[in-house]
Amino acid sequence: MILDHYKNPLNKKLSSTFDAQVHHINPSCGDEITLNLSTVEGVITSITWDGQGCSISQASVSMLSDLVTDKTLEQADAIVKSFSELMASKGTAAGDPEVLEDAVVFAGVSKFPGRVKCALLGWMAFKDAAIQ
């Protein structure tokens, strides 16, 4: 599933218009993500991104972009919170598929502290864009 998103990423084409744009890097791995966010009356209408780096970072932002589009900022915030908790679980949590859908595949990554930052990069970029 992770490799599938890495090879066929969703929403990987920066839109020309956006309400917020952020650029986040993960120096420990060399991952980079630029993310554009558009909202209309508190609903996320578009998330587009571009980036490079390891398969975990790129697949994770691909899943995030698909998961939170058409959600309210409030719903998206709860999803990001749930994913952050999963990533902090050190392998002890499985993730809630009702909230995280396909992103529960990253549960195993939480066992590897060096990779957690890779998985969280896109989610933190989104969080940053959402408060702008």
**Footprint on this chain of Zn ion (rule: CB under 5 A):** 29, 31, 53-54, 57, 118
Beta carbon of residue 35, minimum distance to Zn ion (angstroms, whole number): 16
Beta carbon of residue 73, minimum distance to Zn ion (angstroms, whole number): 27
Angle between helices 55-68 and 73-87 in degrees, nearest 10: 150
Distance, in Å, from the CA atom of 62 to the CA atom of 74, rounded to the nearest integer, reads: 20
Question: Closest CB to Zn ion among 45 and 52?
Answer: 52
Beta carbon of residue 53, minimum distance to Zn ion (angstroms, whole number): 5
| Residue 39 vs residues 10, 85, 132: alpha-carbon distances, Å | 18, 25, 11
Q: Are 19 and 73 in contact (CB under 8 A)?
A: no
Distance, in Å, from the CA atom of 43 to the CA atom of 38, rounded to the nearest integer, reads: 9
Question: Closest CB to Zn ion among 44 and 106?
Answer: 106
Question: Closest CB to Zn ion among 54 and 93?
Answer: 54
Beta carbon of residue 71, minimum distance to Zn ion (angstroms, whole number): 25
Question: Closest CB to Zn ion among 47 and 121?
Answer: 121
